[in-house]
Amino acid sequence: MATIPNTFSALGSSQSTSGGSASKEIAGNFQDFLLLLTTQLKNQSPLDPLDTNQFTQQLVQFAGVEQQLKSNDTLSSILTAMQSTSTSTAASYVGMKVTADGSTASLAGGAATWPVSAAKDTKRATVTIFDANGGAVATKSVMFKAGAQTFTWDGKDASGSMQPDGEYSIAVTAQDATGQSVLVSTELSGTVSAVDVSSGAPVLMVGSSAIPLAKVKTIAYQ
């Protein structure tokens, strides 16, 4: 019985090619396949007719690959549109004050402020301030009430010397009246100065801190 050369297997490498090039190759291979098919139909022997099952299988395979390529193109277009929308949204935050999860704040004018939130009242809390290089410059003992509040550092190190303006971060440990640890979460707060899209997904720049849109908690006009 006559058989069709496996055009799909021989020419199907176009699946690994991306974008419009793959679509063109698939279309070209499909035309080659049809040319081979019609040639065999014209010249088949009545005593050894074409295997229609094999023919149908290869048609289905080609149709499936072509549909997958079209789906990939559609998804790519949707992703591009979503990235464009995210960038536009992020750009609208420039000049606005935002807060987000984080521990960094800018020291300027003799003060740096961090939004913090304590799970419950603390009897004792230790706040350690670190410079941009990770070195501890000061330690403060404070008490936090349950809920959201702020911690402000006067910019002075352990010896009372004023530290230069710049980015600083904090770490907080706290205990309640029974000596049990209390969770105190920290946030960073500041004005969005720019939007960085170099990594694909836009991030807000607050000082030297990069904040993904999903991490933003509050937004306010200055």
pLDDT at 11 over 50: no
Cα–Cα distance, 4 to 16 (Å, whole number): 24
Q: Dihedral of the CA atoms 186, 165, 132, 204 (nearest 10)?
A: 60
Exposed / middle / buried, residue 185 (Cβ in 10 Å: 0-12, 13-18, 19+): middle
- The pTM of the whole model exceeds 0.85: no
Q: How many CB atoms lie within 10 A of CB 123?
A: 14
Which residue is listed with tokens 């306010």?
220
**pLDDT for position 102:** 86
Q: Which of 53-57, 97-101, 181-185, 201-205 has the lowest mean pLDDT?
A: 53-57
Q: Three-state DSSP class for 117?
A: strand
- Model pLDDT, residue 74: 73
Q: Which residues pair with 111 in a beta bridge?
A: 108
Residue 209, helix vs strand vs coil: strand
Boundaries of every domain in the chain: 7-91, 97-220
> What phi and psi values does residue 201 have, to the nearest 5 degrees?
-80, 130
Instruction: Check if the beta carbon of residue 171 is closer than 8 Å to that of residue 134.
Output: no
Question: Coil, strand, or helix at residue 138?
Answer: strand
> Mean pLDDT, the chain, as a whole number?
79
Q: What average pLDDT does this structure show over 195-222?
A: 80
* pLDDT tens digits for range 59-92: 677 677 777 777 777 777 766 656 566 667 777 8
- The CATH class of 97-220 is mainly beta
